[in-house]
Structure 1
Amino acid sequence: MATLQQRFDEAQGILAARLREIRNMAGLTGRDLAQQAGWHFSKVSKLENNKQLPTEVDVREWCRICDAESHIVDLIANVRNINTFYTEWRRLEETGIGHVQRSFLPLYERTNQFRIFQHSAIPGLIQTEAYARGHLSLIVNFRSIPDDVDRAVQARMKQQEVITTGTRRFAFLIGEQALHTPFCAPGDMAGQMDKLTEVSRRANVSLGVVVWRAETGIWPPENFWIYDTEQVRVDTVPGQVRVKAPGDVVLYEKAFQTLSESAVYGAEAQELFASARRKWIGQE
């Protein structure tokens, strides 16, 4: 499994490669670019070989010289992303997972449109209290962090108020596997299925189940949350990535749309919830 540092280096390497590609497409040597920018000739090499992270000013100058101004917005977003590459959970978790859960609320409150994909767990915004306790307890045990699950569950329940207040819209896509992954006792899992049925009937919520098909178009390996059209939260094992580059956000939007086409909604989804509920209470 890649460490945070390895993933940081990988992201910086991708940025360096994009800068090199832009220079090559402009037909400039490294010395040509450095001379026109008024830099020492070695700076271009350092930027292209992942030895130095460019500043926003560097990116603007690079693109200006290479006649590639259309790339400026995405490249600057990548620079900012790398500078704050991870919401590093270990730093937050020093004071417990409850603090992590509370830290999400300001973002949730200022977001108007949520698009959320989770393949094997129910998203926190539509979990029952029992399911949330089981889910968060698993995270605490796996990561060996301070156990303040009670506060974390309380914070997660508080987050759910964003669904019932204001004019926010929510589109949830969950993998069919999520209906059958036990994060709590069977009776509590049955209660979670009831919760999904209830949520699916809300006017401001679209809840789809991505069912197994021979062809789905795409099946991302990670869960992701799209907040409006501004940023994406991608959940990984070592931490969370916040994606803000406009081009990358668009790609996640395309992934969400593609997944939505493999999902079932309304009565079909509710029948899946009911079938899973019967399984959890031993009637199937």
Structure 2
Amino acid sequence: MPLSPSSAAQAARRAVAQRLREIRLDAGLSGTELALRCAWTHSKTYRIEGARTPPSADDIRRWCEACGADDQAPGLVAQSRNAESMYVEWRRKLRAGLAQLQQSYVPLFKSTRVFRVYSPTLVPGLLQTEGYAAGLLSTITDFRDIPDDVAAAVAARLERSRILHESGHRFLFVVDEAALRHQVADSEAMAAQLGYLLTAGALPAVSLGIIPISAAPGPMWPVETFHMYDEALVSVELLSARVTVTQPADIEVYLSAFERLQQMAVYGAEARALIVRAIDALR
């Protein structure tokens, strides 16, 4: 069964906390004794060991120094920073605006050879048209109550999507049929978006699979939206945060889920028929 989206981040935090506890025990110190040496409360020691409070770089250095394990501090600092970067709240990520967010993905996109994207409710960003993206990003801006840079964000998203036409990349998309029906823009923009899917789905580097609403029970169930970049990184989108998964075992879980979702999808003429049906429903 797939792990919850934030499980990888929490597991990474626990690994840091467990290693700090082991260093304390190897030094023969109680939690209270360590706290005295570090000049903080004993409750902070137990919060860190319980992975309830993430340690700062200074906390880790003081902890290791108190235990005579200074040489272990650099590695643990790096490990802790990686753990915290795995779970990033959208309110932090969006401080610089939606346009900046779109542009931040470009280096990752450029270095990725195989994209795997599953989306149960929305057309994936790389396949979005101007009108659809504007409708969606406007709603996000309003909900998040952030500065309105929608026009710039849409332009950045469309520019980013040009990678679909660049050599050296392969794009595997699986969406639920509900993504074709969820109206995030007016009918004209939705019709243009669905029409573009007919074109984009025929691009040489693109595989577009659609899981029909009427599909018989299959080997997988609808899960959260996720993007796989090669087999090195998975980005999972939550309402409150983005989770980055880098542990090989967790990536294997998402790869297995994606392969099962692919098995449930229809392609080619069958997929086009579902898109045309969604277009007809707009009239």
TM range (shorter): 0.7 to 0.9
Displacement of 1:218 after TM fit? 2.4
**With structure 2 as the length reference, what TM-score do the two structures score?**
0.76
**2:14 counterpart residue number:** 16
Deviations 1:88-138 (CA, angstroms, capped at 9, x unpaired) = 332232232111111111111111110000111001100111101011111
Q: Which structure 1 segments of 5+ residues have no match? A: 1-6, 21-29, 59-75
Deviations 1:51-108 (CA, angstroms, capped at 9, x unpaired) = 57699xx9xxxxxxxxxxxxxxxxx998554221333332232232111111111111
**With structure 1 as the length reference, what TM-score do the two structures score?**
0.76
**1:40 counterpart residue number:** 29
Deviations 1:153-193 (CA, angstroms, capped at 9, x unpaired) = 00000111111012100000111101101111112211111
- SS at structure 1 position matched to 2:121: coil
- SS at structure 2 position matched to 1:216: coil
Q: Which structure 2 segments of 5+ residues have no match? A: 35-44, 61-76
Displacement of 1:49 after TM fit? 2.9
**1:193 counterpart residue number:** 194
Displacement of 1:140 after TM fit? 0.5
CA contact (8 A) 2:16 2:79 kept: no
CA contact (8 A) 2:9 2:245 kept: no
- SS at structure 2 position matched to 1:219: coil
- SS at structure 1 position matched to 2:174: strand
Which of 83-92 and 183-192 deviates more? 83-92
Letter aligned with residue 252 of structure 1: Y
Q: Is 1:274 equivalent to 2:276 in the alignment?
A: yes
CA contact (8 A) 2:13 2:84 kept: no
Equivalence map 1:96-111=2 (5 Å): 96-111=97-112
CA contact (8 A) 1:87 1:239 kept: yes
Distance verdict in 2 for CA 1:86–1:152, change over 3 Å: same
**1:23 counterpart residue number:** none
Aligned length: 248
CA contact (8 A) 1:117 1:172 kept: yes
- SS at structure 1 position matched to 2:172: strand
Q: Is 1:124 equivalent to 2:125 in the alignment?
A: yes
Displacement of 1:15 after TM fit? 5.5
Query: CA-atom RMSD, angstroms?
Result: 3.3
Displacement of 1:17 after TM fit? 8.5
**1:206 counterpart residue number:** 207
CA contact (8 A) 2:9 2:84 kept: no
- SS at structure 2 position matched to 1:264: coil
Letter aligned with residue 176 of structure 2: G
